[in-house]
Amino acid sequence: LRARGRRQKQAVGVVAALRDRLLAACGDDLRGLRDGVLISVGYDTLCRRSELVALRVEDIEPLADGDASILIRRSKTDQAGEGRLGYLSEKSMEVIQRWLEAVGIRSGPLLRAVHGLTVDQRGLHPYAVNRTLKALARKAGVDTATTRRLSGHSMRVGAALDMVENGIDLVPIMHAGGWKSPGMVLRYTQQIDLAKSGMATLHAVRKYAS
């Protein structure tokens, strides 16, 4: 580690603008409806890919204003299985309802493999999250460099970036993503933080003054 360093390349974030492009690329067939759920729910809940494919229909609890909560049963940092609640926006609930009505699912895995007009009973494989993101990005005309850096963490990263950009404090961001410590959130958002750093602010002030 001393010789090579331990810093890893970070996945590109699926921020709201990119999320909307990916959603627009989803078709109206069963696979497209499923992919829309994957993108919208993945962004809202900040789920890791393993958490995302483990979500279950019966764990969705509607709230008063058209939005909902969903139980995220287990995560990498929750080995005891206590779970946490993720937030689902009204938009996500609309996408979910279209998918559930089309396939007649009332319980079990929310995200499933689609083979033409056939839907698996088992949940989607975690690796399928990466493949789906990249396929939708290519369909949406996203540049090759960005598409190559998309991964199962991209929606998690993008949602965190959007929250920081909109002035949301660290604690609510940690709560939304199930982080136990601020280190990873700070790493995800360091490019934004750098633009707001003391030195960046100093140069901006000097540029404005001149």
β-bridge partners, 112: 123
The angle that helices 154-165 and 30-45 make with each other, rounded to 10 degrees, is 50
Amino acid (1-letter code) at residue 47: C
Confidence tier at 5 by pLDDT (50, 70, 90): very low
Contact 41, 47 (CB under 8 A): yes
Segment 95-104, tens digit of pLDDT: 999 999 999 9
pLDDT, residue 164, reads 87
In whole angstroms, give the CA distance from residue 53 to residue 34.
11
Token pair belonging to 161: 């970036």
pLDDT, residue 158, reads 92
Contact 23, 39 (CB under 8 A): yes
* Residue 171 predicted with pLDDT over 60: yes
| Mean predicted lDDT score pLDDT of the chain | 86
Taking residues 4-19, report their average pLDDT.
75
Show Cβ contacts of residue 63 under 8 Å, excluding neighbours closer than 6 positions.
69
pTM: 0.84
Closest CA relative to residue 77, chosen from 10, 156, 22: 156
In whole angstroms, give the CA distance from residue 19 to residue 23.
6
pLDDT, residue 166, reads 87
Confidence tier at 168 by pLDDT (50, 70, 90): confident
Contact 37, 45 (CB under 8 A): no
pLDDT, residue 7, reads 44
Segment 19-30, tens digit of pLDDT: 999 999 999 999
Confidence tier at 69 by pLDDT (50, 70, 90): very high
* Residue 116 predicted with pLDDT over 60: yes
Specify the higher pLDDT residue, 6 or 144.
144
**Rounded percentage of the chain residues whose pLDDT exceeds 90:** 62
Specify the higher pLDDT residue, 124 or 6.
124
* Residue 64 predicted with pLDDT over 50: yes
Segment 194-210, tens digit of pLDDT: 555 555 566 666 766 65
Token pair belonging to 165: 């950009």
pLDDT, residue 193, reads 56
